[in-house]
Amino acid sequence: MGLFVFGILLLVIGYLTYGRFLERLLGPDDRDTPALAKADGVDYVILPQWKNMLIQLLNIAGIGPVIGVILGIKFGEIVFVILPIGNVIGGAVHDFCSGMMSLRNGGANLPSLISKMLGNVTGRIFSWFMVILLLLVVAVFINIPAQLLSSNVQQIVTGAAAQPEAGAFLRWCAEQNFFWVFAILIFGYYVLATLFPVDKIIGRVYPIFGAVLLISTLILGGVLLWQAWRDPQLLVETGAFREGMFRQPVIPMLFVTIACGILSGFHATQSPIVARTMRSERQARSTFYGMMIVEGIIGMIWAAGGMAIYNLYPQYMQLAPALVLEHLTKYFLGSWIGGFTVMGVVVLAVTSGDTALRSLRLSLAEMLHCDQVRISRRLLITLPLVAVVALLLWWSNQNARTFNYLWNYFAWGNQVLAVFTLLAAAVWMKEQRLSPLPALLPGAFICFVVLTYILWVSPPAGPLGLGLPLKYAYLYAGAFTLALTMMALIRREQNK
């Protein structure tokens, strides 16, 4: 329990100290924001600060701070230390810098920022890589909430159908799979949220979604603290827990597994959405840096929940994280409140999937120089994306292996985005005559992590990898990281 509380305090202190340091370094001021300078009533619309903060939190959180940490806590108590430190000096810096770069460049999306800072060739390659990744994100964030909703409804219907008075229709329903019903409903919402102006759907429903998320997480956190106070063994590595722990190297596997709580490149694709709805740059620290800290707290609570349920039932360490989530919420919160908490997890996925599709539309429109004021232009970009996502969704549900492939590519691709974003931020900071180190150091580190992962991992651990011995993977990854970092900075100097 001590490390868990220590980690929460690290996050809070990090926001108050390192976040303030970075704010002074980047210098948000009173210049016109893109929402004021480029107002169009669709994507450039001023929203209240509290809404922007909720939108940013829900955009970036996804399912990583829940599903990822339930899996990642099997690395042990070290997660309670690495997650907050990585969040404060890596993830929150990444989000703050990407948000400020977009604010200072007219609300530009990530591909435009990468092209401007790292060169047009790099920008074009990165742009299509990002498009592919966002397609994977949308497919994943339809699949998992649809699975969770289908599973919960199936349990309710099955229980009702088992009653003596149950009719034939209810018994028929108990035999059905509701996955595709929920998948179609969620996907339909994504399309509407992508097409409509940001203040018409996202700006209105996110406060409700945010309330569900925050209330459910706080309830779980309070219950876990109370239970751990009564039984401190819940939040430590017991003998039974150690037997089921991961034996994989922390670098790179831990950082890939719980990327969304530590550092996630996907967040940089979402920051421009909010950069286009902010009234003042002075809101940037609380909106970008602060909401990543809140995501870290959410991740810490769910990691604690995972450790607690694994200590109580070590056999659950062999289950898929989504099943552990169901057992965890029902054990600590009961069926009704547990169901409400599962809805909070569904909210996390849905509110990242909808803005991932919106970000995909905006980025493609920027790349193709297609204005998005008229709905016909928005449909022109969105409809082909709908077809591709539908195919990915169908493919990912063929069997468990295909979904694991989808998740694996999303996981390491997410970190590749973070590498390019932080390198671009370092170049941007250097151009402003600021120290690039706050962005350069975490960028170099996560570059080393993702290169090590690709060089070391091999089938069946993952569908991609060279399978090198770990010591050689570390050596080559270190050399490549140094070369890529120097090339990025030198190339920019030559392009001036």
CA proximity to 41, closest of 199, 158, 177: 199
Mean pLDDT of the chain: 85
Residue 460 pLDDT > 60: no
Average pLDDT for residues 296-302, to the nearest whole number?
93
Average pLDDT for residues 409-417, to the nearest whole number?
82
CA distances from 453 to 73, 243, 482 (A): 19, 24, 16
Q: What percent of the chain has pLDDT over 90?
A: 36
Average pLDDT for residues 68-74, to the nearest whole number?
89
For residue 372 the two structure tokens come to 């998005």
Helices (H), 369-399: 375-396
Q: What pLDDT score was predicted for residue 363?
A: 81
Residue 461 pLDDT > 60: no
Helix (H, G, I), strand (E, B), or coil: what is residue 422? helix
DSSP 284-325: HIIIIIHHHHHHHHHHHHHHHHHHHHHHH-GGGGGS-HHHHH
Quick: pLDDT tens for 376-402. 888 888 888 888 888 888 887 776 566
**pLDDT bracket for residue 148 (50, 70, 90):** confident
One-letter amino acid of 403: F
Comparing 127-131, 369-373, 453-457, the range with the smallest average pLDDT is 369-373
**pLDDT bracket for residue 199 (50, 70, 90):** low
Higher-confidence position of 310 and 372: 310
Q: Contact, 332 vs 39, CB < 8 A?
A: no
Q: Contact, 217 vs 8, CB < 8 A?
A: no
Average pLDDT for residues 9-31, to the nearest whole number?
96
**pLDDT bracket for residue 68 (50, 70, 90):** confident
The domain spans of the chain are 2-415
Q: What pLDDT score was predicted for residue 62?
A: 67
C-alpha angle with apex 64: 387 to 12, nearest 5 degrees? 140
Q: What percent of the chain has pLDDT over 70?
A: 92
Q: What pLDDT score was predicted for residue 397?
A: 74
Q: CATH code for 2-415?
A: 1.20.1740
Q: What pLDDT score was predicted for residue 267?
A: 86
Q: Contact, 426 vs 439, CB < 8 A?
A: yes
Quick: pLDDT tens for 108-144. 888 889 989 988 888 888 888 888 888 887 887 888 7
Residue 494 pLDDT > 60: no
C-alpha angle with apex 71: 339 to 98, nearest 5 degrees? 90
Report CA torsion sign: 363, 90, 64, 394.
positive
CA proximity to 428, closest of 132, 112, 143: 112
- Residue identified by tokens 């549900």 is 397
**pLDDT bracket for residue 90 (50, 70, 90):** very high
d(CA 308, CA 302): 10
Quick: pLDDT tens for 252-285. 888 888 877 788 888 888 888 899 999 999 999 9
d(CA 268, CA 297): 20
Q: What pLDDT score was predicted for residue 401?
A: 63
For residue 160 the two structure tokens come to 């009702």
Q: What pLDDT score was predicted for residue 203?
A: 67
Q: What pLDDT score was predicted for residue 305?
A: 94
CA proximity to 97, closest of 19, 34, 37: 19
d(CA 143, CA 140): 5
Q: What pLDDT score was predicted for residue 491?
A: 59
DSSP 184-201: HHHHHHHHHHHHS-TTTT
Average pLDDT for residues 59-87, to the nearest whole number?
87
C-alpha angle with apex 227: 60 to 223, nearest 5 degrees? 40
Q: What pLDDT score was predicted for residue 209?
A: 73
Quick: pLDDT tens for 210-238. 777 788 888 889 999 999 999 989 999 99
Q: In angstroms, how far is CA 290 from the centroid of its own chain?
A: 15
Q: In angstroms, how far is CA 7 from the centroid of its own chain?
A: 20
Quick: pLDDT tens for 150-198. 877 877 777 777 777 777 777 777 777 788 888 889 888 888 888 887 6
Q: What pLDDT score was predicted for residue 390?
A: 87
